[in-house]
Structure 1
Amino acid sequence: MKALLSLLALLALAAAPAAANDTMAELKAGGLTFVRSPDVEMTREALFISPTEIRVDYVFTNTSDKDVSGLVAFPMPEIGGDPYANVALDDTETDNYLAFTAAQDGRAVAVNLQQRAEAAGLDVTGDLVARGVPLLPYAEATKAALEKLPAEVAGDWISRGIIFVDSYDDDGTGMKDHRTPLWTLKSVYWWRTTFPAGREVAVQHRYRPGVGGTVGITFLEDGAGKGERFEDYRKRYCIEDDIVRRAVQSEKDMAAGKSYLVENWISYVLTTGANWSGPIRDFTLTVDKGAPENLVSFCGDGVRKTGPTTFEMKAKDFYPERDIDILLLKPMAAMQ
């Protein structure tokens, strides 16, 4: 994807306004990985990305004369215990926080979930499990379990960088100390499979993207397209002059109390496709923009509009050299 194309389109994504300085971090998830084998190639990949769902349909082919068995894995985005991060998760009370599902040859796969908690570069999973502390840092059950820790255990965990004490007023009754996670959760879904000799195997997986966002426009400086963040956006999202003009106008509209644009981001880790033998023989990317009322910009090669809400990119013998980052600018009603 060396020739970069920026797409300008309108998108409707219903959402409630957030606080004026609220920012969410998008979660980068992506495709399947497999123990490298020279005998299994990714024959086809059809990738569909929208703000509400990511669908990936693969066809793998065992080109050898013997069966190939191994592990297929889906790494979930890492969840860090940053107390000041506003992570884009719809459900923080379940291990499967992106609602991941998988199927092979049309049948649901019973996937295994491996989760590890790390702090200061060390595995602290056993410490948390032994004390009944859930591994997902942002879960309410995690906060409750940390408050119940004996003082000597909490002191030890603070010294080891597993937790720290944060002070804030969470209920309007004054400042209080709260034991807060610092560990990082690493999760991988996996299953064992066999690719029969000389045959194709279809694999599908679905999940809900962790859409990040912020209120207003963040890539302008002094009301113009310049500065370090702007250059980063140009590289990551391939934004062009039309996007910049609309963003500049949006800042003026927001100052005048009119409807304005806010940012959303979706990221997909495409480069894991390089773990398979050779290139992706037949690759299709579809970006669905929902409805024609927002702006969308992303990098692609030979992208064309295929419907009222969809854009498509096709490639043969495709080597994924970069991940997919999508910028959405959606209009919000003026704040009263």
Structure 2
Amino acid sequence: MWRNLLLSLALASPALANDGFGGLSATGLTFGQTEAVAMVEEDLFISPTKVKVSYVFENQTAQDVTGEVIFPLPPIGLAGLYYSPFNLPEDVRRANFLNFHAVVDGVEVPVTLDRIAVIEPPWEENRPSSEQYDTPGRDVTVELAGLSIPLSVDLDEVTAAIQAGGQATIQALTAKGLLEYYPAEGDSPEQIVPVWSVVMRYHWTQTFPAGQKLTIAHDYDNLPSGGLLGWEDPLPDYMAEYEDRYCVDAGTSRAMSKATAYTDSDGNSYSMGSAYMMSYVLRTANSWAGPIGKFRLTVDKAAPENVVSLCADGIKKTGPTTFVWEQTNFTPDRDLEILLMQPIPRQ
């Protein structure tokens, strides 16, 4: 829906997360809390196309500690994919479509991927704590399994499964609040809009040797959501979320407006660019012992003309496209939400 040239952007693509600590139980993968293993260093790099992170963990006890290292993606909303499948690859049925790799002390380790489905609350309300990332919302995995609906982020695959179940499946999903259904009418085709979200979690079993440090690194493709975004400066009330979610201040707002300004062939002036919403869950770090000893974040906005905004007091520009934010004894109380505005190429 357009509002003064603002495209309603569905945050549909994968956001990313810190490693968490947990285990495997009879009910599946669960987050836990360890007082034995500390995250003493984290070096995180985020760009629109790549994420790389390296951790140093230390077992602070005299005994080996074994647990599940869990890398959760925040929920991927299927309704968002229905309206804006921005930046997702064509091969989303491939299990590792993020090209995720985990390396422990220089050796790549195999990882397992599992999925659950949830109905998540609005972003503004009841954001989950680090302890809730195993089920960040109402878990509807069993309900979908009972109706033979796959835990897929391929909308065609999900829609085909719903249609295969016929009206009985459509009615059951609608009654459970899992589907918005609009039958064909006139020139309007049938619309099947799933409203659940899929949570994907990479994990592996790891032993942390007694009294020793262990380096764990990941890299994977960043596939941020986004689309065309009309910018208004100063921000009107209906864009207030950008101030809260991305800490867009007055100077950054002016910069975004200027960077994306253009005049069309009819002489009308607008500010519109391609927006990338990059998210990264930090609060799962709180499942380790104590705060993050040394934390370093590098954000690369990819091109000098791009404008970026995030909530990070004291972040410093270190190059034409890079910014660095460093913290010590860091206990994250919110996740990273990064807005990048890219001018539309002009001919």
Q: When the two structures are superposed, what TM-score results if normalisation uses the length of structure 1? A: 0.79
> How far apart, CA to CA, are the structure 2 residues paired with 1:20 and 1:67?
54
Size of the aligned set, in residue pairs, is 310
What residue ranges of structure 2 are gaps of 5+ in the alignment? Answer: 22-31, 121-136
Shift of 1:251: 7.3
> How far apart, CA to CA, are the structure 1 residues paired with 2:181 and 2:229?
32
Q: Counterpart amino acid of 2:319?
A: G
> How far apart, CA to CA, are the structure 1 residues paired with 2:14 and 2:238?
19
Q: Encode CA deviations 1:266-322: one digit per residue, 9 max, x unaligned.
A: 121212212211111111111112121212222324333333322212222222233
Q: Counterpart amino acid of 2:15?
A: K
Residue in structure 2 matched with residue 327 of structure 1 by the alignment? 339
Q: Does the alignment pair 1:23 with 2:39?
A: no
SS at match of 2:190: strand
Larger RCO: Structure 1 or Structure 2 (Cα < 8 Å, ≥ 6 residues apart)?
1
CA 232–110 in structure 1, closer or farther in 2 if over 3 Å, else same = same
Preserved CA contact (<8 Å) 2:39 2:292: yes
Q: Counterpart amino acid of 2:173?
A: W
Residue in structure 2 matched with residue 15 of structure 1 by the alignment? none
Preserved CA contact (<8 Å) 2:6 2:230: no
Which of residues 23, 34, 37 is equivalent to 2:34?
37
Residue in structure 2 matched with residue 107 of structure 1 by the alignment? 107
Preserved CA contact (<8 Å) 1:93 1:140: no
Preserved CA contact (<8 Å) 1:238 1:298: yes
> How far apart, CA to CA, are the structure 2 residues paired with 1:46 and 1:319?
15
Q: Does the alignment pair 1:48 with 2:45?
A: yes
Q: When the two structures are superposed, what TM-score results if normalisation uses the length of structure 2? A: 0.76
SS at match of 2:262: helix
Residue in structure 2 matched with residue 141 of structure 1 by the alignment? 157
Q: Which deviates further from its counterpart, 90-99 or 189-198?
A: 90-99
Residue in structure 1 matched with residue 28 of structure 2 by the alignment? none
Q: Which deviates further from its counterpart, 47-56 or 295-304?
A: 295-304
> How far apart, CA to CA, are the structure 2 residues paired with 1:155 and 1:231?
37
Flag the structure with larger Rg: 1
Q: Encode CA deviations 1:145-202: one digit per residue, 9 max, x unaligned.
A: 2222244344333333344433469xxx943324442333222222111110011111
Counterparts of 1:165-184 in structure 2, within 5 Å, are 165-167=181-183, 174-184=187-197
Residue in structure 2 matched with residue 9 of structure 1 by the alignment? none
Q: Which deviates further from its counterpart, 79-88 or 288-297?
A: 79-88
SS at match of 1:155: helix
Q: Does the alignment pair 1:243 with 2:288?
A: no
Q: Counterpart amino acid of 1:275?
A: S
CA RMSD of the aligned region, Å? 3.2
Preserved CA contact (<8 Å) 2:230 2:270: no
Q: Encode CA deviations 1:32-90: one digit per residue, 9 max, x unaligned.
A: 11131111111110000000011111010001111111111111121233265425451
Counterparts of 1:164-313 in structure 2, within 5 Å, are 164-167=180-183, 174-218=187-231, 220=232, 224-249=233-258, 253-254=262-263, 256=267, 260-262=271-273, 263-313=275-325
Q: Does the alignment pair 1:90 with 2:88?
A: yes
CA 318–127 in structure 1, closer or farther in 2 if over 3 Å, else same = closer
Preserved CA contact (<8 Å) 2:282 2:334: yes
Q: Counterpart amino acid of 1:287?
A: V
SS at match of 2:230: coil
> How far apart, CA to CA, are the structure 2 residues paired with 1:156 and 1:235?
37
> How far apart, CA to CA, are the structure 1 residues paired with 2:290 and 2:58?
11
Q: Counterpart amino acid of 1:314?
A: E
Q: Counterpart amino acid of 1:313?
A: W
What residue ranges of structure 1 are gaps of 5+ in the alignment? Answer: 1-18
Q: Does the alignment pair 1:74 with 2:71?
A: yes
